[in-house]
């Protein structure tokens, strides 16, 4: 990986079409629908399957994922419609493919939150949580993008960071001692295989996620290239660091890292995916994303569990939250590193709207950088406060709750197949099976053979 970084730094460059002012029209179909399809697959299959790692939650995870997605899409379209200028002018709002993409972004925000409390809530509680989170998240998005005018093209702060810390706050306030160390809170060989399918879908389509809202075309082109390279470097570093941080010092890969930290590069570069114009930076950010993700899972997550009593089922704090914070910090850094003038007047207006003398504004570089940090702080503060309030609401006695023995299990609210207990409970407790050599019985040893019975 070090060699790759050196070679890309010395010899790597993007094509002229991907640079500011470049012509990328030949590289794209003139529609957003293919990008929407990719984001939609990430929402349903990627997020749905990555949560089936719990051995007794394989039916509930993708099913509730679908339920929440269907709810949030509609709720998000409505909330964003009410906040639109079109609604203010005409009293109505329209829905476009771009609106479908942003609705899926809202769904992924809620699904990240779901990961923190995975297996602990009933479907009713999940729906209540989503109904509260969506308008809050969209209000924060509206404030950050339209008032602070911060950049976050891949929604690393507004989706990943917000969803993670909202979920951690819910988990903190909804915490019960029976949830920690529960016999069902674990994976099996088969559940890990299915969860890896979710990882592969997220990995494959992440460039579309980070570039879906980027304009103009060369900006979208850069977002695709940067995400692509950041994912590659974060994957290589994840495998290397996973061995290095092996707690048993056997230098083995941890599937928890492989299933999650390989995606950290796509999250970490999300805020600046359309800004960076050198491959070296993209590769470096991918490595940093993997590093903070693995450190977060191995060290920060256990500390928060012991000291703060936060039980994070899927580890969203380490795998989404910390890379999201890194992305916000990088937004501050690269606002200073890259002058808007390098993108040309037209492109700079679309990337840095508050720095391009638009609507009477002409922010200095360091002022805009300060607004980037203000955006990150807003996301963190609002997500934690509203998540905590939501956690208190979910504890109300009027909302049905899962029995202690059925945490992290399908059986409480999904009709399971006949082999449910055998495949998820009994087999998972078998350490090993010894097979001995089979010897055919003689007629003297088996009365059935002498009597002619089958």
* Residues shown for the chain: 454
Quick one: how far is CA 276 from the chain centroid? 22
Residue 29 has what pLDDT?
Answer: 47
- 216 upstream amide cis, omega within 30 of 0: yes
Residue 27 has what pLDDT?
Answer: 46
Q: Where are the domains of the chain?
A: 2-21+31-429
* pTM recorded for the entire structure: 0.88
User: Would you say 241 and 291 are in contact if contact means Cβ atoms under 8 Å apart?
Assistant: yes
Topology adopted by domain 2-21+31-429: Ammonium transporter fold (1.10.3430)
pLDDT (tens, 9 = 90+) of the chain, 454 residues, equals 787 777 667 776 665 666 776 665 544 545 688 999 999 999 999 999 999 999 888 899 999 999 999 999 999 999 999 998 888 888 888 888 899 999 999 999 999 999 999 999 999 999 999 999 999 999 999 999 999 999 999 999 999 999 999 999 999 998 877 667 666 677 788 889 999 999 999 999 999 999 999 988 889 999 999 999 999 999 999 999 999 988 777 788 999 999 999 999 999 999 999 999 999 999 999 999 999 999 999 999 999 999 999 999 999 999 999 999 999 999 999 999 877 777 776 677 778 888 866 555 778 889 999 999 999 999 999 999 999 999 999 998 788 777 777 788 887 787 877 666 656 665 556 555 565 666 565 555 555 545 444 4
Determine the Cα–Cα distance for residues 285 and 339; give it in Å rounded to an integer: 19
Residue 12 has what pLDDT?
Answer: 66
Cα 382–Cα 180–Cα 313 angle in degrees, nearest 5: 50
DSSP sequence for 253-272: --HHHHHHGGGHHHHHTTTT
Nearest to 156 by CA among 4, 270, 301, 30: 270
């Amino acid at each position: 990986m070090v060699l790759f970084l050196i070679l890309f730094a010395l010899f790597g460059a993007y094509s002229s079409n991907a640079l500011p002012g470049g012509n990328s029209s030949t590289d794209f179909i003139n529609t957003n629908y293919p990008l929407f399809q990719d984001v939609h697959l990430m929402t349903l299959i990627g997020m749905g399957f990555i949560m089936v790692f719990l051995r007794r939650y394989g039916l509930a995870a993708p099913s509730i994922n679908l339920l929440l997605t269907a709810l949030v899409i509609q709720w998000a379209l409505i909330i964003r419609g009410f906040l639109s200028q079109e609604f203010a002018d005409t009293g109505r709002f329209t829905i476009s493919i771009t609106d479908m993409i942003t609705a899926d972004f809202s769904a992924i925000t809620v699904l990240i939150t779901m990961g923190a409390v995975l297996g602990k809530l009933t479907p009713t509680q999940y729906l209540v949580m989503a109904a509260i989170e969506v308008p809050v998240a969209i209000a924060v998005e509206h404030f950050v993008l339209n008032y602070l005018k911060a950049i976050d093209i891949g929604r690393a702060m507004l989706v990943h960071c917000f969803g993670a810390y909202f979920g951690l706050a819910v988990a903190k306030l909804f915490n019960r001692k029976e949830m920690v160390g529960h016999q069902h809170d674990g994976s099996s060989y088969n559940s890990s295989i299915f969860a890896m399918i979710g990882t592969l879908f997220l990995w494959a389509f992440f460039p579309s996620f980070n570039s879906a809202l980027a304009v103009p075309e060369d900006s979208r082109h850069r977002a695709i290239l940067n995400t692509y390279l950041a994912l590659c470097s974060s994957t290589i570093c994840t495998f290397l660091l996973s061995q290095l941080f092996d707690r048993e010092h056997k230098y083995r890969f941890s599937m928890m890292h492989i299933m999650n930290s390989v995606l950290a590069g796509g999250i970490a570069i999300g805020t600046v995916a359309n800004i960076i114009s050198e491959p070296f930076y993209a590769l470096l950010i991918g490595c940093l994303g993997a590093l903070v993700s693995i450190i977060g899972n191995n060290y920060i997550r256990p500390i928060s569990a012991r000291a703060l009593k936060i039980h994070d089922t899927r580890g969203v704090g380490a795998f989404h939250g910390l890379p999201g914070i890194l992305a916000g910090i990088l937004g501050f850094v690269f606002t200073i590193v890259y002058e808007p003038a390098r993108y040309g007047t037209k492109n700079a207006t679309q990337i840095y709207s508050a720095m391009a003398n638009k609507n009477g504004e002409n922010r200095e570089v360091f002022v805009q950088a300060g607004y980037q940090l203000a955006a990150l702080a807003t996301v963190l503060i609002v997500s934690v406060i509203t998540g905590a309030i939501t956690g208190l609401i979910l504890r109300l006695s009027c909302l049905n709750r899962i029995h202690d023995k059925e945490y992290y299990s399908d059986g409480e609210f999904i009709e399971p197949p006949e082999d449910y207990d055998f495949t998820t409970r009994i087999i998972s407790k078998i350490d090993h099976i010894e097979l001995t050599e089979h010897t055919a019985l003689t007629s003297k040893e088996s009365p059935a053979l002498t009597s002619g019975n089958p």
